[in-house]
C-alpha cells in the first residue's frame, strides 16, 4: 500500500523568500503524485500533479515540484512566497486507480 511522509509539520518563511516543502512516498509501482493546498476551513485545491514524463512539473500560483524516483521524493517549491500562500499543504500519492493516501500536512506561515 502507498504511504506519504511529510517531515515538516510547520514551516515559517519570510515573504519573498523561497520555499521548499518536503514529501517522501512509498509505493511499489510508478506513483501518481499530487500536492494540494488547504486554506483554513476550506476544501482541497490541487496545486499540481505528476503522472509521468517530465519530472519537473509546474502548477498553479507559481508552484513547481520535482519527482525524484531515486529519492522517492516529490518536493514542492516556490521561488518567492507571498503572504497569501499561508495555508496547509498536503502531498498525496495515488495508485493507478487514484485511491490517494495523504501525508500529515505541512502548515506554512508567512512572516511579513
Partner 1 sequence: EPEVTQTPSHQVTQMGQEVILRCVPISNHLYFYWYRQILGQKVEFLVSFYNNEISEKSEIFDDQFSVERPDGSNFTLKIRSTKLEDSAMYFCASRERGMNTEAFFGQGTRLTVV
20 near partner 1 (CB under 8 A): no
Q: Does 42 bind partner 1 (CB under 8 A)?
A: yes
Indicate which single residue of 24, 25, 105, 108 sits in contact with partner 1 (rule: CB under 8 A): 105
The correct pick among 55, 71, 84, 99 for binding partner 1 (CB under 8 A) is 99
DSSP state of 30: P
Query: CA 95 to CA 77: how far, in whole Å?
Result: 23
When asked if residue 43 is in the footprint of partner 1 (CB under 8 A), the reply is yes
Give me the torsion for CA of 18, 13, 109, 98, rounded to 10°: 30
Grid cell digits, residue 6: 511529510
The verdict on 34 binding partner 1 (CB under 8 A) reads yes
Amino acid at each position: 500500500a502507498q504511504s506519504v511522509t511529510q517531515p515538516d509539520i510547520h514551516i515559517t518563511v519570510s515573504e519573498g523568500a523561497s520555499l521548499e516543502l518536503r514529501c517522501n512516498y512509498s509505493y511499489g509501482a510508478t506513483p501518481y503524485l499530487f500536492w494540494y493546498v488547504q486554506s483554513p476551513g476550506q476544501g482541497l485545491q490541487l496545486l499540481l500533479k505528476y503522472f509521468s514524463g517530465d519530472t519537473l512539473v509546474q502548477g498553479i500560483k507559481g508552484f513547481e515540484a520535482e519527482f525524484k524516483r531515486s529519492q522517492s521524493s516529490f518536493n514542492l517549491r516556490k521561488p518567492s512566497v507571498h503572504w497569501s500562500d499561508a495555508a496547509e499543504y498536503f502531498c498525496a500519492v495515488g495508485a493507478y486507480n487514484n485511491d490517494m493516501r495523504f501525508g500529515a500536512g505541512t502548515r506554512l506561515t508567512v512572516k511579513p
